[in-house]
Structure 1
Amino acid sequence: IDENTIVKGDKYLLSRALENIIGNAIRYTPNKGNVFISVDRAVNNYSIKVRDNGIGIPSHEINAIFSPLYRGEKSRNRKTGGSGLGLSIAKQIVEKHKGDIQVWSSKNQGTVFEITLPCVNE
């Protein structure tokens, strides 16, 4: 990563978005599972990927997970913590920074969240 290239934004908000995504990856991955975090630079943006081999998200729920208060199927209930706001907040923060957030998942196979943020050369 070129040290002269930065992402401009509110570090508190961006940290909160990443904490929400990483926290979910940890929460929904079994004890002996794995969570991987990577950062890649493209021409005009940074891509932050959070990948796990946890319980995954059923395909019919993917479009709803960023809705406020959405709490998925039984395996994602109040016992596991959270209020159903984390992903909605993360998406709002990323979009406020002119970025994008995408998700790919397979039930019982894991999930990948990718946050893309524009970078600025200084």
Structure 2
Amino acid sequence: MIAHPNVRVETLSRDTARAIFAMRQRTWPNGQAVSVFVLPENHSVHARFSKSLLNVYPHQLRLAWDRVVFSGTGQAPNVVMTQPEIVKHVASTSGGLGYIERGYLDDSVKVMPLAN
């Protein structure tokens, strides 16, 4: 996971990350608003991220997003097409959070590890 450099959180628990990416939690643990960026549901990196880091299947995330959108209690995350785009959007959006493969990491964003 990557975050905007101004995010004052150093790690996320798996439960908190799952809640944020399922759009059930709209703020960082310190109260700052979160802007979530994800790859398309059929992207292999999205599937790996969902299953290995969040322990949910991509279709389960889609159901969670649909629930908050159709109930009027929230909105779906921002879908971008490529990993470089995720880096660009997270780096330019205060409170931004996304995920990429390590090879796309640069100094414009900070790594947001999962706490053990």
State if a TM-score over 0.5 links the two structures: no
Q: Using structure 1 for the length normalisation, give the TM-score.
A: 0.30
Higher strand share: 1
Query: Taking CA–CA contacts closer than 8 Å with sequence separation of 6 or more, which of the two structures ends up with the larger relative contact order?
Result: 2
Q: Which has the larger radius of gyration?
A: 1
Q: Using structure 2 for the length normalisation, give the TM-score.
A: 0.31
